Structure 1
Amino acid sequence: MLRLLIVDDEKQIREGLGNTINWKDVGIEHVYTAANGYEAFKVVCDKKPHIIITDIRMPVMDGLELCQLVKEAYPSIKIILLSGYSDFSYAKQGIVIGVNNYFTKPVNIETLLVFVQTLVSDIKREQIEKNTFKQKIFTYLSMNEEQESTAILNQLCLQENIPRHKNRLFCIMVEFDQYENLETDYDKATRLSIKRTIKKVVCETFTEPMHSFHFSSQQDNQLAFYVFCNTYDHVQAFKDEVTHRVEEIRSLVEQEQLSLTFGISKTYSKFNFQKAFLDAKDCLAYKFFMGYGKLIFSESMDQDPFKTHKKITLNHDDIAQGIKALSYEKLIQGVQSLFDAIRTASDADEVKGFLTYLIGAIGNEMKTIYKQMHIIDDMVEGYCSKIKQSETIMDCFNIVETFCIDGLEKSNHNLIHSNNNLIGIALDYMHKNYRDHISIETVSHYIDRNANYFCHLFKKETGVSIQDYINAIRIKQSKQLLKNTSLMAYEIADQVGFSSYKYYYNCFKKNVGLTPTQYRNKTFHADTKYI
């Protein structure tokens, strides 16, 4: 949407040009007016018009002074001067300053509109060129093509009206977290809508109140901003403002169940685009260790423990023992201790390389139990691929943990079939011994398996936990005793194997919907109804 500013101290001319011409016919959506150069420059700073039509002779601040200020602050704005015949020498000064044309009063409206239409075409062409530049710039910066990127960015500074006196800059990089989920969880139309909305929010948040411009990666999963300031600006105040605005963005993005990570460079002298970009990009690399949705400042990384190299050593004895014992608990404890050791490693690729090796080592241990080796090999290949694509160290932990569970299930499944239906043996034991104070531990001990892992396996196979299954047997038997005997409820609780009446009472009510006494009374009345 293009914007036009009309500046003239004569109200009749000002309002006549503003209100009697259908500017939308030539591509102008918004028209603003001002009575002198001083008022006009405030409008320029606030509204950032694309075209200014201004008189020369005005009180407070004349048109030439306005042109000078505008061209210094916003060099890409197009300017048309209006002058009387006697002002022609001033008009020539305007051409030197960089105005695009001048017209003598009274203005021929048709001629003026034709020229405005030409300017509109030029602006649209420049916007297309600017978008083309922005598509190239991310690639150039990423490939460290400093000469090419600097030339394009200098041109963008002019097109984006970055004031010349803003001689310092810093770079903000914004990255969609778990971008592949956005690609797979939504259809194309919804995905595009979400990305447009978030990009619009981010761009408006950083661009409108600041001297900045943005560009995005070809995959559209990253945005970069250059924010410009000058030597006299309080840079920390700028960054405090950025922090505040990031919090605003987070709350909006969370509504879409998404998150963004922000990397913010140090402050550099103007035209050090490459250094600022790479600095901000390095900040994003720390997302691997710090997790999703963080705001990462380059200054805070200088003294960070992640920058202190710590050699990773491989010791997976605990993991090997956990696999041999089919102990889910021991296995995960071993994985956790390894992850605790690598959290302060200095390089994400080194960590990923270590973890792919670890998955291979775990796979080799599993092969000693699970004889169908090609299945383990396929698992190892699939999980190693996931490690390479992971974005954070917690993602890696979850991948390794899932691999261990998956491998143990396959290994244990192999043993179940070779041990004549282990679950069936456990069920038979529970039905025969529910009156004793049996527990998860006694059942697991009977079948000679690790308690934690057998719990996991039992629930997977039956849909209920071991304890819930034992309780269900006991409740069923207690209902028969309530109905057919005169035993007190606490006596029945003890007879069917509950360790306390209170626990029996709670379990009974949860399963049956009545207390033991209510159930007995209900069944008694039902039996005597027909006597």
Structure 2
Amino acid sequence: MKILIADDEDYTREGLLEEIDWEEFGIDEIMQAVNGEEALKIVKWFRPHIVISDIRMPKMDGIAFAEELLGLAPESKIIFISGYLETEYLKSAIRLSVIDFIEKPIDVDQVRKALGRAVEEVLRERRTREADEGNREFRQQKLFELLTRRDSDWRTAERLARGGDFPLNGRYVCMAVQFPRAGQTTGEELDQLLDMVLQAEGRAIGIWQEPSAFEAVIACQDRNRYRLGPFYQRVLDRWPDCKVAVGMEVEDYRNIFNSCKTARAAMNCAFYQPEGRLFEIDETILQKRFMEPGIYGAFLRVLPEGSRKLSEWFCSLFGDLFARKYYQKEQVYTLMVSLLTAVFRQYPSSYDCVPWVGGEEQLQAAVLNMDSLREIQDFTDTVLGCVQDREEELSGFGRVIRGVLDYIAAHYGEEDLSTARIAEAFHFSPAYLNVLFKQEMKVTLKQYLSGYRLEKAKKLLEQDYMKITEIAEKCGYANANYFSKVFREGTGMTPLEYRSARSEE
């Protein structure tokens, strides 16, 4: 809380500073002024919550200063001090609703009591404003929800609109703003955007649909429509990473839901065109927006035919998706999660290509966090490229050994994975499978499994968000202590030393 002490007598100001425990009142910022004119200059930038002012001061007296003060900061609480108890001063104090009028010489206890009342008044008004603000936001959100639904309670919407000063005659347009989900947009910047929208031509209401997506309904008169385009551009200029989508203009508030629907459809195009910034409705947006049936069935027929055929099929799929940009992106996310999950199950060594994806749950999260179809395509191409490299690498090995290597890639994280279990899965004796494996791989099956786990652990250690115990568990080690022992034997460093060394590199 902030206070300004205005008095031309130095000993009065210094006495108050020394005699009062300001922290007791929650006051942590104090400014001083030697006359009313200086005090007024300070008020313009300091905005004090409480002002203690002498009445008789040079250049501008306390009464004139207080009148100017309340014009600039009407929420400020005033305590007058004076060596002259005159009727006119008392009348002015009453007219200005001052907290107290204290005579000089100053009684510090009386000042403390007056400060207590002033602080309580400031806190009471603050609580009231916060409650009003909360109610205002709730009413605005409720009005937004009513106006953007096809079948709504129009009587309630009209009542909320009148109470919130939102016009029910004019033209309306819905605007959607999308920020990158992985961006660094701060809460303060988001508040600035909300203020910017609410201060647009006409009136506006807006809410955050999620941390990175904002929607607003803007109302404007016909004569001000030309200002909407420059307003959209100001938003784009202020936040270079954001995207703006604009719905169709409507003349009846009961049709605002159509503007909102088309704005969301326009924003859907940003998923297909990540280089775009401003999206408006076109005829393709209004086409059928549901995924064609049979895509997953066609994929399952291609999946066993090898990575090359699979890459060709995905290339065709992405080409079709980019051409049909009206598909809802939620459907594309669902489809791609299903397709890529099946790819990783068919080719478990794919996890080697993307070490930050340790399982199907992380794979799903990774896909859903991608902002565009192009990003999903790049991820898919990377995975399928690794699969092809892996197939070429294994092409010189026999069918059984290729199967064993894939089995290890799929199950290395299981603690009970052993030579005996692998041999049982392929219907061989452990001894025979080990001989067969060593002939082709030049190492024993146990040595290969240990080395594979160690390499996986190295890649995971390079991701600094995972704990050592989590890495040990993911790589099939019984506990973190055993993992540390094996890791040190294999690398000459503890897991923590390895992570530190890689971070420095």
How does the TM-score come out when normalised to structure 1? 0.44
Q: Is the radius of gyration larger for structure 1 or structure 2?
A: 1
How does the TM-score come out when normalised to structure 2? 0.45
